[in-house]
Amino acid sequence: MSNKFPVDRALFDDVMVPNYAPSAVIPVRGEGSRVWDQNDNELIDFAGGIAVNCLGHCHPALVNALKEQGEKIWHLSNVMTNEPALRLAKKLVGSTFAEKVYFANSGAESNEAALKLARRWALDVHGADKTQIIAFKQGFHGRTFFTVTVGGQAAYSDGFGPKPGDVVHAEYNNLESVKELISDKTCAVMMEPLQGEGGIVAPTAEFVKGVRELCDENNALLIFDEVQTGVGRLGELYGYMGLDVTPDILTTAKALGGGFPIGAMLTTTEIAKHLKIGTHGSTYGGNPLACAVGEAALDTVNTPEVLNGVKEKAEIYVEGLNAINAKYNVFKEIRGKGLLIGAVLNDDYQGRAKDFLVAAMAEGVMTLVAGASIVRFAPSLVIPNEDITEGLARFEKAVAKIAQ
């Protein structure tokens, strides 16, 4: 079959399963925080591939790692280990509370591993009754059947038949709702250290510390899903570091590969021993190509310059968005932490976040939504300040069009 057919948005409808409704814009190349589409229109990227492209597009450190490893070895399977996986694991352990690492390909897979580990740990240590998993309404943990059931948005988990059992949901930032559910039958509490999909909701210090204490009192594991918050997004290497609370298991993906698919589950030696040989696995997890890129991404992000830069750039965003709002009065609040920012639409614009995204795209800036009424920003952690300023100017034009 020749390649002589138009590769355009209409082709998507012909050949792709219809579970996505992508933009008509098809980007073909990127550099830093800018991308260009098929017609050579330039866009500023405030979306970051949904908090994935932590170093923007085609960052030299990542390109070099990919090229170098691409000429050495790509895949071995887990019958053998490999140098990039060992190096990346050593650096993750050295930079966090963790002592052991399990590699996967995505956030959902990392969360799946965390949940299976928690259940296996509880069975081995406490017996067959300790199976309850507590998670949070509006939480998001991935799209496998187990993780989507643990996620707190029924719209994503309904309609596929019977769900995995013994999963219950408390209210985020409501400690009493956790107290009502938790008992010695609880094996784990799973939470995001800042809810992403659920609306860019930061936890109060009292809540997150209270959850940790409740887990300790009930011999339950605390699992932090840091798929979106990890690898510098909030201004610390991992979000837990800014909360003075340490989880028992942490999951990481998205930014860990800077755009190359990789995920990891981090935990202690004592808990890790329950995933003994044969209990869980992944064909591609820990493959040399992904781990080489992941190592380059981690090395580049895990510096005081980049992490402090995240906090400085966050201030530019918040000030800029507040200035736009002073003119057009469309947002109720600007919230979030670091470079995970949510602009919450006020009552006049409820349910219209997608309109803002579409209008912004027409002005040459890519944004995200978090639910129907929040515009979400998750740009590169090293986006140049002038790109923030220019992108916000374009975003202001979009806001002006909608507000008029």
Q: Which residues are annotated as a binding site for pyridoxal 5'-phosphate?
A: 107-108, 140, 225-228, 283
Q: Is the dihedral of CA 124, 125, 127, 128 positive or negative?
A: negative
Query: What does the block give as tokens for 225?
Result: 């899903």
Write the single-letter amino acid at 345: L
Nearest partner of 380 among 153, 58, 46, judged by Cα = 46
Binding-site residue numbers for N(2)-acetyl-L-ornithine are 143, 282
Q: Is 140 annotated in the active site?
A: yes
**Dist CA 342 CA 374 (whole Å):** 6
Give the closest residue to 116 by CA, choosing from 141, 80, 96. 141
Q: Which residues pair with 188 in a beta bridge?
A: 133, 221
Under DSSP, the state recorded for 221 is E
Secondary structure (3-state) at 117: helix
In the annotated binding site, the residues are: 107-108, 140, 143, 225-228, 282-283
Catalytic: which of 136, 207, 224, 254?
254
Of 329, 250, 270, give the one whose Cα is nearest residue 121.
270
The 3-state DSSP composition of the chain as helix, strand, coil percent (nearest 5) reads: 40, 20, 40
Instruction: Say which of 136, 146, 225, 331 is annotated catalytic.
Output: 225
First CA to last CA across the chain, in angstroms? 50
φ/ψ of residue 331, rounded to 5: -105, 140
Q: What angle do CA 145, 150, 154 make, to 5 degrees?
A: 80
Q: Which amino acid is at 129?
A: D
Specify the 3-state DSSP secondary structure of 235: coil
Nearest to 374 by CA among 401, 350, 340: 350
Active site residues: 140, 225, 254
